[in-house]
A and B are shown apart, each in its own frame.
Chain A
Amino acid sequence: MTRPSLAVDLAGIRLKNPVLAASGTFGAGREASGFVDIARLGGLITKSMTLEPWKGKPTPRMCETPSGMLNAIGIQNRGVAHFISEDLPWLVRRKATVIASIAGNTVDEFAGVAARLAAAGGGIAGVEVNISCPNLEDRDNMFAHSEAATARVVSEVKRALPAVPLFAKLSPNVTSVGDIAAAAVAAGADGLSLINTVLGMAIDVNTRRPKLAGTVGGLSGPAIRPIAVRAVHEVHRAHPGVPIIGQGGISSAADALEMILAGATAVAVGTANFINPRSALEVAGGLSELMASHGAATVAELVGAVELVG
């Protein structure tokens, strides 16, 4: 049998392999580029950027938990202008496939970032909309927790930046991720990213204080993989035509294949990058071997190929 092909079509983006680096775990590529040739990654989803620089939350911002970690970073970033002037030209020179992640506290802020990216005139293959942000206009409820707010952000970003595929990044902290997915797709999302971190909390029993200065934070790493697989499976069943970037706890080729079988067209590696910045490449390499053992010639034929019993 010939070597299986890792190339995938993700909502119109040609990826050389289906393994991306997840937002917030790879910066804009510079720091990790000492360890890995970022041109060889399936793609790089940048740290979420906002209209103005965000300072982030006080420390401690992270704590390790069994098979995972909690973080409350607060999207510290230097803003979209810095991304466009400093990071994007560098990424283009390095021939990285870039999906720009954007965030905001109001619909206008999201749309503003999208408009700046549109005006920058190219360099990005797609945009991921991080709607796990508090909505100032709705008592700080997360956009991702409301169908209406999700739809508004998605449609405004799409209007400001129609040229590239839009992925709405959904939160697992909702009653029905399928309903939010439906709202995002109806509002114009070309694809979905599943999942963002799972809300959690840890307390230091000696000091009786939360381990994070932000009190609660987002859980990531292997601990959340089953939650992600379930969410991807559910959304893929409901919207089989909508491409999904599956993420949450992936650190091996088998983990990636699991996510693909659940319905992901591509996957993103997050927390595993902290331990090994070559994780995404190594996962892609291993996936090729796994596909061969499954007799699969393309990734596409494995997407959603879980065999349900009964």
Chain B
Amino acid sequence: MSASLVMGEVLSRKKQGEDYYSLTVVAPAVAESVAPGQFVNVRPVGRTAHILRRPFSVYRVHKQGGWASTFEIIFDIRGPGTEELAALDVHDKLDVMGPLGNGFRLPKKHSRCLLVGGGIGAAPLFFLAARLREAGHRIDVVLGARTSELLLNAMDARRLASICRITTEDGSAGDTGVVTDVLGPTIERCGSEVVYTCGPHAMLEAVAGVCGAAKLPVQVAVEELMACGFGVCMSCVIPLRVRRKKGGSGSGGVLYARSCTEGPVFDGSQVIWSDHIAAPDTIDLASELVPPPAAPPRAQHVPAGAGAEHSPPGN
């Protein structure tokens, strides 16, 4: 396992626009090894009331020859955890576990990549874009938010992308509407071969739907509630439709995969979006998770009928 448990130090803290805060953290062990789509689970030192760490995608890294490399996270204030992070000062310590999760899979041969981000959820796409560009891929971007103030770093998005489409729900920048309104035409215009997306659950579902119809592979980065972030608590699961492993005994079916370990990046065509809340009742845990295919799989048949679930209220 490559994740480290380190004491980072805040190098800088910036406010970006009205709502976003970014922290640049000196933590070479993390910054040198993290890949786009992976996340860090962080905690200011000495907290007592809110005991758990908080997970954040890595937004950018700055390699400084190993000894002072930094990673950057960007977030909006949702509750006590993000409030405390926003209040950190330069030189404050930050307890960091990371890098965690699987990260995006980069194309092997030159590809036209479309990055679709909503609100603060676009954060990991900037790190991804940087790495895709280094590898010589073409990048196009669709960036959306409720209002122009909440567009994440539209300037960099425009700079990195061959084609950059902006949408806001109130029409304060770009097209009025949501990212999926312009997604289909953008895919066609750019000749996109693979789509990467991160943002609110409903947006991911809609993007996966458009890509499914267009038979385009789509990698979605999900955000689930996490207690541990490294695979032991089983809090963060997401239902996936999985195929039987070659030679395996399982019948395939639905698997609760850990978004902190098997994810947070999943093949969008495998995620069961509508069953997110209601438990799917066809589960075959014995079937192993099949890695996301390069091309979108054909619709999987999910066998019907399984016993009712009986499990305790706790644990």
Contact = CB atoms under 8 A, between A and B. Distances in A.
A274 B232 contact: yes
A171 B190 CA distance: 59
Interface in A28-58: 31-35, 47-48, 53-58
A271 interface: yes
Contacts of A130: 315
A62 B230 contact: no
A210 B12 CA distance: 38
Interface residues of B, number: 44
A23 B234 CA distance: 12
Interface string B218-241: 000000111111111111111000
B285 interface: yes
A62 B227 contact: yes
Interface in B26-59: 43, 48-53
A14 to B, nearest CB: 26
A92 B227 CA distance: 28
Interface string A83-107: 0000000000000000000010100
A31 B225 CA distance: 18
Interface of A is mostly: loop
Contact of B315 (A82, A218, A273): A218
B23 to A, nearest CB: 19
Contacts, number: 169
B234 A73 contact: yes
Interface residues of A, number: 65
B230 A277 contact: yes
Given A132-B315, A197-B315, A64 B235 contact: no
B276 interface: yes
Contacts of A61: 225, 234-237
A47 to B, nearest CB: 8
Given A59-B276, A62-B233, A213-B277, A275 B312 contact: no
Contacts of B3: 34-35
Interface of A: 23-27, 31-35, 47-48, 53-64, 66-69, 71-79, 82, 103, 105, 130, 132-134, 136, 140, 142, 196-197, 199, 213-218, 221-222, 271, 273-278
